[in-house]
Structure 1
Amino acid sequence: MIECIVENEKDAIAAEKLGAIRLELVSAIQLGGLTPSLGIIKRTMENLQIPVQIMVRPHNYGFNYDAFDKEAMMEDINLLYDLGYYRIVVGALDQNRKIDTNFLDYIFKEFPLLNVTFHRAFDEVEDQMEAYRTLVSYRDNIKRVLTSGGAESCLAGAINLRNLVQLQHELNGPVIMPGNGMKLENIKELHNTVQADEYHFGSGVRKHLSYEEGFDKKVIEGIKHILSDR
Structure 2
Amino acid sequence: MLIEVIVQGAEDAKVAEEFGANRLELVMAMTEGGLTPSYGVIKDVVRAVSIPVHVMVRPHGYSFTYSEDDKRVILEDIKVCKELGAAGIVFGSLTENGEIDETFLKKVIETSDGMKITFHRAIDEAKDIIEAYKILQKYSDSIHTVLTSGGEPKALDGIENLKAMLALSHEKPSPVIMPGSGLSHNNIVELHQKLKATEYHFGSAVRVNGKFSEPINGNTIKTIRELIN
TM-score range, shorter chain: over 0.9
- Cα separation, 2, equivalents of 1:10 and 1:119: 24
- Which structure is richer in relative contact order (CA contacts within 8 A, separation 6 or more)? 2
Aligned partner of residue 24 in structure 1, secondary structure = strand
- Cα separation, 2, equivalents of 1:123 and 1:171: 22
Deviation at 1:110? 3.4
Query: Are the aligned partners of 2:55 and 2:88 in contact in 1 as well (CA < 8 Å)?
Result: yes
Report sequence identity in percent.
Answer: 46
Deviation at 1:30? 1.4
Aligned partner of residue 54 in structure 2, secondary structure = strand
Letter in 1 for 2:51: I
Query: Are the aligned partners of 1:162 and 1:195 in contact in 2 as well (CA < 8 Å)?
Result: no
Backbone CA RMSD of aligned residues? 1.2
Query: Are the aligned partners of 1:112 and 1:141 in contact in 2 as well (CA < 8 Å)?
Result: no
- Listed one character per residue, the Cα deviations across residues 192-218 of structure 1 (whole Å, up to 9, x for unaligned) are 111110000001111211122222233
Deviation at 1:141? 1.2
Letter in 2 for 1:105: K
- Cα separation, 1, equivalents of 2:51 and 2:87: 14
- Cα separation, 2, equivalents of 1:9 and 1:217: 14
1:215 maps to 216
Letter in 1 for 2:153: E
- Listed one character per residue, the Cα deviations across residues 54-101 of structure 1 (whole Å, up to 9, x for unaligned) are 010000000010100000111111222233435100110011100000
1:85 maps to 86
Write the mapping of 1:93-104 to structure 2, written as runs, cut at 5 A: 93-104=94-105
> Does 1:45 find its partner at 2:46?
yes
1:186 maps to 187
Write the mapping of 1:2-41 to structure 2, written as runs, cut at 5 A: 2-41=3-42
2:115 maps to 114
Write the mapping of 1:81-230 to structure 2, written as runs, cut at 5 A: 81-228=82-229
Provide structure 1 residue ranges, at least 5 long, that are not aligned to the other structure. none
Normalised to the residue count of structure 1, the TM-score between the two structures is 0.95
- Listed one character per residue, the Cα deviations across residues 99-154 of structure 1 (whole Å, up to 9, x for unaligned) are 00000111223333121000110100011111111101111111000000000101
- Cα separation, 2, equivalents of 1:178 and 1:111: 24
Normalised to the residue count of structure 2, the TM-score between the two structures is 0.96
Query: Are the aligned partners of 2:36 and 2:56 in contact in 1 as well (CA < 8 Å)?
Result: yes
Q: Mean Cα displacement is larger for which, 117-126 or 85-94?
A: 85-94
Question: How many matched pairs?
Answer: 228
1:67 maps to 68
- Cα separation, 2, equivalents of 1:6 and 1:83: 17
> CA 1:21–1:141 in 2, change beyond 3 Å: closer, same or farther?
same
